């Protein structure tokens, strides 16, 4: 039986348009297109910055079958521009998205994907509030290390993420909840016992970066707002 070809809109939630969230969205778009579906990406920040008119968004969203938010984690949940965008949609498109499908992919710098739980739950509540079908969320820990590098250039790690997205899309285009095995595949398992070594490595890297900008450790730890004339 031929599956119905779907229209998929990927919403890039990162203020940095070409970084890891975009890399993930681009990969999902390519995978969807390979399966014969139509997919496009929009950048939420362009609507937030009024480079694009929010009023015109309705024409972009309404023909879609599936909406997918791909976003970084900012301070434990969605970035401010993304919450602004979801609030605007909830306000301006009430009732008009009913029956469409919604999913989310979130990524954070820390290895622990549990940190993405409140963000992904919020996406679910957004979908339910607008009477969309919530297909579930996926979390990736360690997004900062990818730092916008295309997945095809990341070797085994890139292949693993791409394969997980392909499995997720199989469920998504059929209107099914994303299988838990996809999250298992995406999760980078770093034993907590290695966190101290990881912290030491990250601190070494950060200090080296600081030195290269002529910034000392004392400068890095300045209590800027307790100093005069700030």
Partner 1 sequence: MSLVILDAFGEENLIEKALENLLQKTGKEFFYFKLKNMKILACRSCGACEIKSPGKCVFHDDMPEIMRAIAPGSLILMLTPVRFGGYSSQLKKVLDKLMILVLPLYTVKDGHLLHSPRYGKKSLLVIGLTGQNLPGEEENFRLLAARNALNMQFTHKTLLFTSADPMEKIEREIDKALCEVKP
Among positive and negative, which fits the CA dihedral 153, 155, 158, 159?
A: positive
Question: Of 62 and 200, which CB lies nearer to partner 1 in the complex structure?
Answer: 200
Distance CA 169, CA 177 (A): 10
Which of 98, 128, 159, 176 touches partner 1 (CB under 8 A)? 128
By CB under 8 A, which span of 26-34, 97-105, 159-167, 199-207 interacts with partner 1?
199-207
CA-wise closest residue to 69 among 130, 110, 153: 130
DSSP-derived 3-state class of residue 141: strand
Which of 1, 2, 56, 75 touches partner 1 (CB under 8 A)? 75
Q: What number of CA atoms fall less than 13 Å from residue 18's CA on the CB side? A: 2
* Residue in the block written with tokens 């919403």: 11
CA-wise closest residue to 71 among 138, 127, 149: 138
CA-wise closest residue to 178 among 142, 133, 143, 141: 133
Which of 13, 68, 72, 137 touches partner 1 (CB under 8 A)? 72
The neighbouring-strand residues paired with 12 are 43, 70
**Minimum distance, C-beta of residue 25 to partner 1, in the bound complex (Å):** 16
DSSP 51-72: SS-HHHHHHHHTT-SEEEEEEE
Which of 105, 123, 138, 182 touches partner 1 (CB under 8 A)? 123
**Minimum distance, C-beta of residue 189 to partner 1, in the bound complex (Å):** 14
**Minimum distance, C-beta of residue 114 to partner 1, in the bound complex (Å):** 9
**Minimum distance, C-beta of residue 173 to partner 1, in the bound complex (Å):** 25
Residues forming contacts to partner 1 in the complex (CB under 8 A) are 14-16, 48, 72, 74-81, 83-84, 86-87, 110-112, 115, 117-119, 121-123, 125-126, 128-129, 192, 195-196, 198-199, 202-203, 206-207, 209-210, 213, 215, 219-226, 230
């Amino acid at each position: 039986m031929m599956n119905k070809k779907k229209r998929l809109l990927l919403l890039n939630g990162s203020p940095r348009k070409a970084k890891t969230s975009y890399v993930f969205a681009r990969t999902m778009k390519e995978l969807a297109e390979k399966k014969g579906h139509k997919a496009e990406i929009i950048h939420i920040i362009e609507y937030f910055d009024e480079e694009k008119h929010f009023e015109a968004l309705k024409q972009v969203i309404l023909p879609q079958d599936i909406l997918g938010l791909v976003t970084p984690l900012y301070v434990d949940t969605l970035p401010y521009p993304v919450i602004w965008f979801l609030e605007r949609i909830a306000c301006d498109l009430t009732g008009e998205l009913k029956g469409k499908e919604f999913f989310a992919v979130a990524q954070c710098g820390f290895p622990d994907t549990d940190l993405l739980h409140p963000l992904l739950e919020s996406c679910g509540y957004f979908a339910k509030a607008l009477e969309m079908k919530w297909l579930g969320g996926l979390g990736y820990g360690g997004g900062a290390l990818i730092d916008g590098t295309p997945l095809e250039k990341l070797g085994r790690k890139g292949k693993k993420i791409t394969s997980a997205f392909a499995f997720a899309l199989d469920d998504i285009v059929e209107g099914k909840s994303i299988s838990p095995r996809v999250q298992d595949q995406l999760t980078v398992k770093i034993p907590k016992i290695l966190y101290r070594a990881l912290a030491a490595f990250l601190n070494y890297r950060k200090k080296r970066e600081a030195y290269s900008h002529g910034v000392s450790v004392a400068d890095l730890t300045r209590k800027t707002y307790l100093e005069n004339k700030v």
